Amino acid sequence: MNLDHALDELAVRNGVIPHFHDLEGRLQPTSVDTKRALLFANGVNIDSGGMVHQALEEMIAADARRNLPPEIICIAGQDLELAIHKSVTWRLLPEGKEENAVEGKTDNLIVIQDLPSGIHELHLDSSNHRDIVLLISAPEKAPSVFEKSGLERIWGVNLALYGLNKGDDPGIGNYKDLADVASAIGLNGGGFLGVNPVHAMGWNNPEVFSPYSPSHRGFLNTSHIAVEHIEPMSERTRALLASWKHAAQNKSSQLVDYPGHSKFQWLILDALFQDFTKHATTVQENEFAKFCINEGPAAHRVAQYECLGEKHGSDWRKWSSSLRDGIDAPDTSDERVRFHLWLQWHAENQLQTAQLEAVSSGMGLGLYLDLAVGARQNGAEAWAEAEAIAQDVSIGAPPDHLSPAGQKWDLAAYSPKKLSTSNYRAFREILSRNMRRCGVLRIDHILGLNRSFWIPENGAPGGYIKHNFETLLAIVRLEAERNQTVVIGEDLGLVPEGFRETLLNSGIYSYSVLQYEKNENGKFKNPSSLSPQSLTCFGTHDTPTLRGFATGGDITWWQKLNWIDESHAATIKDSHKQEVADLMGLAPSALQEAHATASEIDKLNSSVHRAMANSPVMMVSVQFDDIEGNIDAQNLPGTIDEHPNWRRLYSTPIAAINDHPNLKHISKIMAIGGRVGSKKVNKERNS
């Protein structure tokens, strides 16, 4: 076999997709340089032609020796039968247990009865070979909305946590604010409150504030800690807090000041930690110690990263080799390591308290959190989980008509090969840590479980690599069952044939954005035609708000940024006018049936929300921007500083949300549509 053919086969065997179709339908081949780069990223080192042949021969030989595939997916609680074609001794090592659950010897069939959920190891020994097979035992489906809430068709609100209006209080929205807003939404009949990702952004990165570019997705953004609710607090610290609030009262801005917030919050958190070390009660000390033990090595590793970042800069790729490898990392008893663990302790407690208060308010599901597609290449996750990370590549997207040069997101990718070797520990921990904090988890760009577009750092063109989709999906179901979490998969864009059906069969809810739901002739679909197993919303943080859509606010921004000229803008706005009329036609009698007036909310808003309320979908999400009647979206894709992305404050103070007339109006629309998300409100209305 010549070198080119050997490289092609080795690439395919390691998941590198040989070609893909772009949005124009043209076949784009994966280049030789890209294949080499993606193989290296996935843990296959082939510096020379001889190494290509050697790696391929070893892989073929290893596959030929195997008695069973390296991974087998099975249904938890059912008996498993595996056909064997030679005499073997086998033993099952169940997850979390050192002793063997069962063992035996056979030359034809292995039978394991009532296999519990988990990732187990099946060891097979024959005369001259040993196999280790991962048994991924998972439920057939993730929990449903009804199983979780006792309700069939619910609604809720999505908002930006950072943008909550705290009145005279300084800083950005925090976890205590989240609890207060969740209670207000629950008392108005909402079944969930969704927020932007609250992943750790990095202690030393106040200039990075896109929630979709986190440092670590398994840990929490400490900027959202409600410092005024931490005890013990000394008089000196109270004075610091009072001075922060006083300084904030003299400022007026409609945008979040992240660096300013960090500057003051850091001082107060440092002071609070000193108060803790000096004045903590025995109960507090024991609770913190228990947290540090329960969180395990992963939390300590992230705390070590933060300490090193304070001394050497947050980009670990610029550290010395001994620091990159963690050899010279500070000991877990180091006081600064304890400080960063203490921060995560408070963030975790406050977020979980918010979930408890959300459910206590009557919400059927409570908090709806968002799992970003990846973490920054220079951040804590890429450093702490280096053994599972693909080397020298970034997740991105291929060129299309919106981005002719393609998109490089500077996000780290998990290596399929490395993940499998480590029994998917890193992926499972990310899921588990997020799911335990909420009733609903949305997985951003869930297509990434099937394949990812990797862009090599060496300048080679990008290419797709295939993931172990069925395995990853089974793990999602497994962790969702353990944490009793409803899962939404963001499945927008071009997806492989059968992909959505596979998700639905696993109990994953589809994500339907009404702005994108059009039929063949370009007309908006009526929400009545949408899949029941989905969440629907009019827009997202990346798309125009209802008022922005009606007024062409996004088009105005495109024109302001010179993306389009005046003539093109006028053409698009004319098209928008017809689309607005189409949206109005979805439910033209919304105002009369909801007993509302145009002064409470415009007709378009009523029409769209009534149509969604009457739809068969199980979850309807209302954007808080549409409750407020805002024009601008939270984010304008394609911009960084030109548009105030991820910085806009809401105009409604937190204390006024419960009585917001537009929230009351939408609550009535949802109730008339037979959609109540709060168990308490549902009980009251039926009594």
Read off the pLDDT of residues 114-133 as tens digits, 9 standing for 90 and up. Answer: 999 999 999 999 888 889 99
Q: In the structure, what pLDDT confidence band is assigned to residue 509 with cuts at 50, 70 and 90? A: very high
Last residue of a domain, one of 17, 40, 65: 65
Q: Report which DSSP code applies to 646.
A: T
Residue 268 domain-assigned?
A: no
Structure tokens at 432: 């588990």
Same domain, 53 and 91: no
Query: Which pLDDT tens digit goes with each residue over 287-331?
Result: 999 999 999 999 999 999 999 999 999 999 999 999 998 888 888
For residue 251, the model assigns a pLDDT of 64
Which DSSP helix (H) or strand (E) runs through 576?
Answer: helix 566-584
Instruction: Give the least confident one: 79-83, 374-378, 602-606, 662-666.
Output: 602-606
Task: Provide mean pLDDT across the span 170-185.
Answer: 94
Give the model's pLDDT for residue 591: 38
User: What Cα–Cα distance (Å) separates residue 266 from each residue in 121, 243, 340, 682?
Assistant: 45, 14, 12, 43
pLDDT of res. 582: 81
Is residue 632 in a domain?
Answer: no
Kindly give the interhelix angle for 3-13 and 49-65, rounded to the nearest 10 degrees: 50
Task: Give the residue with greater pLDDT, 406 vs 542.
Answer: 542
* Residue among 661, 677, 657 nearest 596 (CA): 661
Are residues 53 and 104 located together in one domain of the fold?
no
Which pLDDT belongs to residue 252? 63
87 and 47 in a single domain? The answer is: no
- The structural domain count of the chain equals 2
Q: Is the pLDDT of residue 19 over 80?
A: yes
* 44 and 94 share one domain: no
What pLDDT is recorded for position 125? Answer: 92
User: Residue 436: pLDDT above 90?
Assistant: yes
Going by C-beta distance under 8 Å and a sequence separation of 6 or more, which residues neighbour residue 631?
545, 547, 548, 551, 553
* Residues whose CB is less than 8 angstroms from the CB of residue 36 and which lie 6 or more positions away in sequence, other chains included: 7, 46, 460
Whether 374 is covered by a domain: the verdict is no
pTM over 0.85: yes
**Residue 552, pLDDT score:** 84
Establish if 314 belongs to a structural domain. no
| pLDDT more than 70, % of the chain | 94
Quick one: 97 and 50 in the same domain? no
In this predicted structure, the answer to whether residue 680 has a pLDDT above a threshold of 70 is no
Please check whether residue 333 lies inside any domain of the structure.
Answer: no
What are the residue ranges of helices labelled H in 385-467?
Answer: 416-421, 425-435
Last residue within a domain, chosen from 117, 138, 159: 138
The confidence score (pLDDT) of residue 5 equals 92
pLDDT value of position 377: 97
Of residues 567 and 169, which shows the higher confidence score? 567
**Is omega for the bond preceding 232 within 30 degrees of 0, making it cis?**
yes
Look at residue 129 and tell me if it is in a domain.
Answer: yes
Residue 377 tokens, joined: 């290449």
Task: Flag whether pLDDT at 593 surpasses 50.
Answer: no
Mean residue pLDDT of the chain comes to 90
Q: What share of the chain is helix, strand, coil (3-state, %, to 5)?
A: 45, 20, 40
Question: The domain containing residue 103 runs over which residues?
Answer: 77-138
Across the range 648-654, mean pLDDT stands at 94
Q: How far apart are CA 36 and CA 50, in angstroms?
A: 13
Question: What type of residue sits at position 599?
Answer: S
- pLDDT recorded at residue 587: 63
CA–CA dist 514, 536 (Å, integer) = 7
State the pLDDT at residue 142.
Answer: 98
Helix, strand, or coil here: 626? helix
Read off the pLDDT of residues 365-422 as tens digits, 9 standing for 90 and up.
999 999 999 999 999 999 999 999 999 999 998 876 555 567 889 999 999 999 999 9
Average pLDDT over residues 500-519: 94
Asked whether residue 112 is domain-assigned, the answer is: yes
Tell me which of 138, 164, 182 is where a domain ends: 138
Tell me what pLDDT residue 594 has: 37
Q: What is the pLDDT of residue 128?
A: 80
Q: What is the pLDDT of residues 224-272, one digit of tens each?
A: 999 999 999 999 999 999 988 877 766 667 889 898 899 999 999 999 9
Q: List the single range of 15-24, 459-468, 541-550, 591-600 with lowest mean pLDDT.
A: 591-600
CA atoms 360, 361, 363, 367: torsion sign: negative
Q: The CATH number of the domain where 93 resides is what?
A: 2.60.40
* 644 domain-assigned: no
Choose the weakest-confidence range: 396-400, 463-467, 544-548, 663-667: 396-400
pLDDT of residue 551 exceeding 60, the answer is yes
Residue 274 neighbours by CB under 8 Å, 6+ apart? none
